[in-house]
Amino acid sequence: MGSSNNDYYLHLIVSSFLLFTFLPETVHGIKKCYIVYMGAHSHGPSPTSLDMEAATNSHYHLLASVLGSHEKAKEVMIYSYNKHINGFAALLDDEEAAIIAKKQDVVSVFLSKERKPQTTRSWEFLGLRRNAKNTAWQKGRFGENTIIANIDTGVWPELRSFNDKGYGPVPSKWRGGNVCQLDKRPRSIRNPCNRKLIGARYFSKAFEATNGNIIKPSMHTARDFEGHGTHTLSTAGGNFVEGAHVFAVGNGTAKGGSPRARVAAYKVCWSPEDEKSCHEADILSAIDQAISDGVDIINLSVGGRQAVTAEDTFTDAVSIGSFHAVSRNILIVASAGNDGPTPQTVVNGAPWIFTIGASTIDRDFRSIITFSDGRQIQGGSLSVTLPPNQAFDFILATDGKLANATIQDAQFCRPGTLDRTKVAGKIVKCMREGNIKSVVEGLEARDAGALAMLLENQEKQGRTLSAEPQMVPSVNFRHRGSGGRSQDFPYFLNASYYEVITATTPPSPTPSLTVKLSKATTVIGTKPAPVMASYSSRGPNKIQPSILKPDVIAPGVNILSSYSLGASPSDLQQDRRRFEFNVLQGTSMSCSHVSGIAGLVKTRYPNWSPAAIRSAIMTTATTRDNRNRPIQDAFDRDLANSFDYGSGHVQPNLAMEPGLVYDLHLIDYLNFLCASGYDQQAISALNFKRTFVCKGTHRIDDLNYPSITLSNLGSSSVTVIRTLTNVGPSGTYNATAKVDGCRITIVPSSLTFKRMYEKKTFKVIVQASSVIQLNKYQFGELIWTDGKRRVRSPITIRRRN
Ligand SMILES: *[C@@H]1O[C@H](CO)[C@@H](O)[C@H](O)[C@H]1NC(C)=O
Ligand SMILES: *[C@@H]1O[C@H](CO)[C@@H](O)[C@H](O)[C@H]1NC(C)=O
Ligand SMILES: *[C@@H]1O[C@H](CO)[C@@H](O)[C@H](O)[C@H]1NC(C)=O
Ligand SMILES: *[C@@H]1O[C@H](CO)[C@@H](O)[C@H](O)[C@H]1NC(C)=O
Ligand SMILES: *[C@@H]1O[C@H](CO)[C@@H](O)[C@H](O)[C@H]1NC(C)=O
């Protein structure tokens, strides 16, 4: 018996280290930045400086054996990863890389790829209250003394979010010393780091070595000139800051999820213009350093690469780095990606990563568009400064295009497509081009003299409305789409409005329509919420189909948080504005929320493993919205499912008292890799270079994950094993499980726990019936409850024959 999932892996079985090597077509002589990965260090988890020196020497030695001399090795070495991750980064040509790949002790050799870096109301929406008694903030002591690391674009240290007033000494577990690689501002007297922002480092060697992109010495600083890192770090661990607002919307107190946490910034992304400016070799070095510094949680903001094969597990810096972090008991929280709604787009799919998708909150930044014929539509907006009772001429971008611009380009208001003589003084309608950021349209509209812009979603953006720091007053409105249950979706008040726009697209002349725009306001308590964000990347998990990803969703739409004073809110060069706060979109923002929540759980339960913290947040998540109906997707009539939200929307208050957890440790992940068919020697390399014997009795499906996914069911029944650990009072839990068309038996169906940390194992026997359609996923759930707590796991199955 056993799961037929194993079949999937059989053909991926990698029998020698060599096959882990990912080499592009040989281009003779051109040096590129390669990462040579060698597993864990034999010096174990607590290296001395002598150990690290010895490790670096062994790296030089290995490299010298290929290049001919120690000097040559020194010349090309970019990083020696000598603390927790074993390996190095070096400038090599393809031939040299191939020779190194054959060396004993080398697990994989791969090109250092470039990655792109991927609040006020949101915390109340999650049920946290500053002055209440018993929310997760109080129970988790506001995340006090948890250390959250942010690997991102750096930090703007002088912001109020990072003020250390009232903080005690830096926790003794911090081993990062006083390293603070931040420049002082000209008139600033205080040290940029303090008891709140306890460390800052930058990692630029691979970026500089590969592109010949030399960074000015004055820019060798972890200071954030992009805004993303500051925003996410303050979302995870920023102080309470009163009076946060952008353009006068979103008034309130900004704060992080763990507002009393200590934070450390590791800057790995270097160019605000070029999104792909974060190098894997720099990221790996930052992770090695963060592990060494003694952080509790690493929030990894750089987008994962789309992994396509099982080998990617060992040729992906994020996957490798996070494995080492987790084996040192550090939780890695990473975003699912912003490439939804296409299926199979989820990244960071390894079972040791906590992978987060994005959804809306119950706050909208809104403006109402009123057309001269009475039709109205609600949109998302940060700022409308036009007089609300005055009507302005309306023009479609395609009607206002320059003669030399194509309709295709003009509809998106791409640079140099709008004709000033037609557009100036009017309100222009553009199609939204970017998924999570779309501000170039506003710049073109402004340059063409438009007074305001209406930004219409494409179909794939559905009804996710982004309020963005545009350079002209603007309102983003939903895709005009098919039908829609207007009572459910408050985004448009008058469905027949769409006829106006459809009738004139393209290129017939615009009817003489005028438009009024109401002032942008903040609306709180909108329903339904959460709704999936259209751009949140979706499952199924391509490379590990037996692991459901994303794991959970959290707020990621219109998130207000602190921002860098060294960057414009739109990140456009032409934008000279500077704000202490900004509203951003994306799974990065939701990821920071979960880092904050994890910080609370960690503070309350300092000894829990990363897997236990993740389990607590997953099993208490909800699949219902604030109307108590199933969470919707960003598209009309679509309900979201586990491939969109994983276990559901986080509920931090419940995560503080999960009752039971599904725990996992290093050995479980090693057994999982065995069951997945990875080479035994490679797996031993991960185990601090100690021999690890794959016993053949472990099955992928039995990894003690808080969700169950069987993507290859046949007609015979399949048994899955799970183990629960009691982390609450003693009591008896009963199980119920349901998947349409399946018979699910839980043995035993009742478990009594008498002691703290007591473990009990149970079986889930799944028998698919013949009524289930082949190759179609079915969604269900397993719930353990003691009458008070509810420990829920999504079950996803697919019958293949
Ligand atoms: C935000 O506060 C400012 C100043 O206190 C006030 O003028 C504005 O109306 C407020 N906006 C909202 C949406 O509450
Ligand atoms: C957390 O990770 C996400 C995505 O992986 C990233 O975008 C965000 O910037 C990070 N935030 C913090 C506080 O580290
Ligand atoms: C919807 O539009 C029609 C005109 O097309 C108008 O008569 C009607 O009053 C509008 N309804 C609302 C709620 O604005
Ligand atoms: C069209 O021509 C104008 C100059 O007349 C130029 O500025 C613009 O970039 C051109 N647009 C395109 C799309 O080629
Ligand atoms: C669990 O099941 C037992 C036996 O059916 C029942 O007596 C008990 O009340 C149940 N407990 C809960 C919390 O449902």
730, 732, 762: residue to mutate for ligand 5 pocket, most atoms within 8 A of CB: 732
pLDDT of residue 566: 66
Q: Is 761 in the pocket of ligand 5 (CB under 6 A)?
A: no
pLDDT of residue 686: 82
Please list, in sequence order, all residues whose beta carbon lies within 8 angstroms of the beta carbon of residue 146, skipping any fewer than 6 positions away: 258, 261, 262, 296, 297, 599, 600, 602, 603
Q: Is 375 in the pocket of ligand 3 (CB under 6 A)?
A: yes
Distance in Å, CA 564 to ligand 1 centroid: 22
Atom 2 in ligand 2: residue holding the nearest Cα: 301
C-alpha distance from residue 51 to each of 40, 43, 47, 687 (Å)? 13, 6, 6, 17
Q: Is 731 in the pocket of ligand 5 (CB under 6 A)?
A: no
Distance in Å, CA 731 to ligand 5 centroid: 11
Distance in Å, CA 663 to ligand 5 centroid: 25
| Residue 655 parent element (H or E) | helix 652-655
Residue 253 has pLDDT above 60, yes or no: no
Residue 563 has pLDDT above 90, yes or no: no
Residue 318 has pLDDT above 90, yes or no: no
Which atom of ligand 4 lies closest to the CA of 414? 13
Q: Which of 70-79, 229-238, 260-269, 402-411 has the lowest mean pLDDT?
A: 229-238
Which atom of ligand 2 lies closest to the CA of 233? 13
Structure confidence at residue 484 as a pLDDT band (50, 70, 90)? very low
Residue 2 has pLDDT above 50, yes or no: no
Percentage of the chain exceeding pLDDT 90 = 40
Atom 10 in ligand 4: residue holding the nearest Cα: 416
Distance in Å, CA 594 to ligand 1 centroid: 29
Distance in Å, CA 473 to ligand 3 centroid: 25
The most confident of 234-238, 336-340, 644-648, by mean pLDDT: 644-648
CA dist., res. 133 & res. 111, Å (int): 51
371, 496, 513: residue to mutate for ligand 3 pocket, most atoms within 8 A of CB: 496
Ligand lying closest to the C-alpha of residue 357 = 2
Average of per-residue pLDDT values in the chain: 82
Please write the tens of the pLDDT for every residue from 319-361. 888 899 998 999 999 888 888 888 998 988 889 999 999 998 8
Please list, in sequence order, all residues whose beta carbon lies within 8 angstroms of the beta carbon of residue 796, skipping any fewer than 6 positions away: 540, 548, 642, 643, 707, 708, 709, 710, 711, 777, 778, 779, 780
Mean pLDDT of 51-72: 95
Which atom of ligand 2 lies closest to the CA of 334? 5
Catalytic sites, residue numbers: 152, 228, 588
Q: Which of 306-320, 345-359, 382-396, 405-419 has the lowest mean pLDDT?
A: 306-320
Structure confidence at residue 438 as a pLDDT band (50, 70, 90)? confident
Q: Which of 209-213, 390-394, 694-698, 704-708 has the lowest mean pLDDT?
A: 209-213
Phi, psi dihedral angles at 471 (to 5 degrees)? -90, -5
> Cα–Cα–Cα angle for 296, 300, 305, nearest 5°?
145
Residue 373 has pLDDT above 60, yes or no: yes
Q: Is 750 in the pocket of ligand 5 (CB under 6 A)?
A: yes
Q: Which of 249-253, 424-428, 568-572, 624-628 has the lowest mean pLDDT?
A: 249-253
Q: Is 416 in the pocket of ligand 4 (CB under 6 A)?
A: yes
Ligand lying closest to the C-alpha of residue 383 = 1
Atom 12 in ligand 4: residue holding the nearest Cα: 405
CA dist., res. 423 & res. 326, Å (int): 55
Ligand lying closest to the C-alpha of residue 751 = 5
CA dist., res. 441 & res. 434, Å (int): 10
Distance in Å, CA 498 to ligand 3 centroid: 12
Q: Is 41 in the pocket of ligand 3 (CB under 6 A)?
A: no
Q: Is 376 in the pocket of ligand 3 (CB under 6 A)?
A: yes
Ligand 2 surroundings by CB, under 6 angstroms: 118, 150, 152, 228, 232-233, 235-236, 299-301, 334-335, 588, 591-592, 595
Q: Are 504 and 498 in contact (CB under 8 A)?
A: no
pLDDT of residue 150: 83
Mean pLDDT of 494-520: 56
Mean pLDDT of 58-65: 95
Residue 58 has pLDDT above 80, yes or no: yes
How would you label 651-680 residue by residue, b for 16+ Cβ within 10 Å and e otherwise?
A: bbbbbbbbbbbbbbebebbbbbbbbbbbbe
Strands (DSSP E) along 183-274, which ranges? Answer: 197-202, 241-246, 249-254, 262-267
Ligand lying closest to the C-alpha of residue 659 = 5
Residue 521 has pLDDT above 90, yes or no: no
Other CB atoms within 10 A of residue 613 CB? 27
Would strands 363-371 and 376-380 be described as parallel, antiparallel, or unpaired?
A: antiparallel
Distance in Å, CA 29 to ligand 4 centroid: 41
Q: Is 496 in the pocket of ligand 3 (CB under 6 A)?
A: yes
Structure confidence at residue 471 as a pLDDT band (50, 70, 90)? confident
Mean pLDDT of 283-297: 92
Distance in Å, CA 356 to ligand 2 centroid: 10
242, 246, 249, 251: residue to mutate for ligand 1 pocket, most atoms within 8 A of CB: 251
Residue 632 DSSP code: B
SS (H, E, C) 55-110: HHHHHHHHHHHHHCCHHHHHHHEEEEECCCEEEEEEEECHHHHHHHHCCCCCCEEE
Atom 8 in ligand 4: residue holding the nearest Cα: 416
Q: Which of 241-250, 330-339, 389-398, 673-682 has the lowest mean pLDDT?
A: 241-250
Structure confidence at residue 384 as a pLDDT band (50, 70, 90)? confident
Percentage of the chain exceeding pLDDT 70 = 79
Q: Are 208 and 326 in contact (CB under 8 A)?
A: no
Atom 10 in ligand 2: residue holding the nearest Cα: 301
Atom 6 in ligand 5: residue holding the nearest Cα: 734
pLDDT of residue 631: 95
161, 269, 331, 335: residue to mutate for ligand 2 pocket, most atoms within 8 A of CB: 335
Closest CA to 121 of 475, 581, 598: 581
CA dist., res. 328 & res. 296, Å (int): 10
Structure confidence at residue 105 as a pLDDT band (50, 70, 90)? confident
Q: Is 401 in the pocket of ligand 4 (CB under 6 A)?
A: no
Distance in Å, CA 493 to ligand 3 centroid: 8
115 vs 787, higher pLDDT: 787
- Tokens found for residue 456: 């219409």
Please write the tens of the pLDDT for every residue from 581-608. 677 778 878 888 888 889 889 889 999 9
Which atom of ligand 1 lies closest to the CA of 250? 13
Ligand lying closest to the C-alpha of residue 494 = 3
Which atom of ligand 5 lies closest to the CA of 733? 13
Residue 564 has pLDDT above 70, yes or no: no
pTM: 0.83
Ligand lying closest to the C-alpha of residue 371 = 3
CA dist., res. 314 & res. 108, Å (int): 6
Structure confidence at residue 503 as a pLDDT band (50, 70, 90)? very low
401, 404, 411: residue to mutate for ligand 4 pocket, most atoms within 8 A of CB: 404
- Tokens found for residue 249: 């919307």
